[in-house]
A and B are shown apart, each in its own frame.
Chain A
Amino acid sequence: MDKKLQPILEKLEKEIGATVSEYRGDASLVVPAEKVVEACQQVKGLGFELLSAMTAVDYWPQETPRFHVIYQFSSISRNMVLTLRVPLAGVNPSLSTVSHLYRNANWRERELWDMFGIKFNGHPDLRRILMPADWEGHPLRKDYPLGYEEPQFTFNFDEINLRKPYAKE
């Protein structure tokens, strides 16, 4: 882990009570859910101008922190990279928005709502972004089926041909 990151991690650890962990040379902080906006303000103040990525992971059978929302920051002026992980409970997960700090969080939060069902309070326009507006379910959740359809080969051509909904003229 590069040396410039050291003082920042201690500062965040003290003020927000985040736990630091390191893997393959990249530092990541685990922050409780209610302290997200404050952590993001601190991180933005410390020179991380760019919110590179924002995503979530669904640890499905494990119920208590079922989702982890991951913020990936990079600092352009001091050339550093930092990851923020926020564990969320499984039943109607919600988090407060940071789109007022980083404007590209707007669409990313809409994507997380669309794909994982994580609500973001205070988001200006929380609609589905990738799926059609009337789609039920959140596809990237682990309990959402992949939706596999049996492909048509020569050996099963006829059975599938019967029930394949060909378009009428």
Chain B
Amino acid sequence: MGVEQKLGNMGAVTTTLEQAVAWSRTNAMWPMLFGLACCAIEMMSAQAAHYDMSRFGMELMRPSPRQSDLMIVAGRVTRKMAPVLRRLYDQMPEPKWVISMGDCASCGGVFNNYAVVQGVDEIVPVDVYVAGCPPRPEALIHGVLTLYEKVKLMKFSEVKK
């Protein structure tokens, strides 16, 4: 972050600031509206009234990468879609995270052939992998909560320069 490039490690001051920043991030992390295949339908059910991902701060699914902090890769990534996905990841503002939802995004899943990229971590750095084909909405929400744990532990000093 900008502040730690300036402040560095100032003990109590930065730790409370870290907690404040982590609190603000985990309570309003907007995912990018970006569904590829079957997992997108389960992501829609997770966003809808019954499972309601908005309880965890994911109120809105922002269509454009400019206003989203989290990219949920929901579905199989094909060879033709891979450069587009990388372009969208590059166009997201800086504190950004990636959840690879479902087996097809995590490791190619059922499709081990010429058309599918075997795991989206060959294209974008992934923070949390959610298993399942498609993962139940609760599994996706569990993945989101694990991501929140990871965000909470982020220290200023070790941020990517």
Contact = CB atoms under 8 A, between A and B. Distances in A.
Interface stretch (B10-18, B35-43, B48-56, B120-128): B120-128
Given A148-B113, A151-B108, A167 B123 contact: yes
B160 A166 contact: no
Contact of B114 (A147, A152, A165, A168): A147
A65 interface: no
B113 A147 contact: yes
A45 interface: no
A151 B107 contact: yes
Contacts of B86: 167
Nearest to A165: B122
Interface residues of B, number: 17
B67 interface: no
Tell me if B's interface is mostly helix, strand, loop or mixed: loop
Tell me if A's interface is mostly helix, strand, loop or mixed: loop
Contact of B112 (A132, A139, A149, A166): A149
Nearest to A168: B125
A146 interface: yes
A145 interface: yes
B125 A167 contact: yes
Contacts of B115: 131, 139, 147
A169 interface: yes
Given A149-B108, A151-B107, A131 B160 contact: no
Most buried by B among A144, A146, A167: A167
Given A131-B79, A151-B108, 10 more contacts: A131-B80, A135-B79, A146-B112, A146-B114, A147-B112, A147-B115, A151-B107, A152-B119, A164-B119, A167-B121
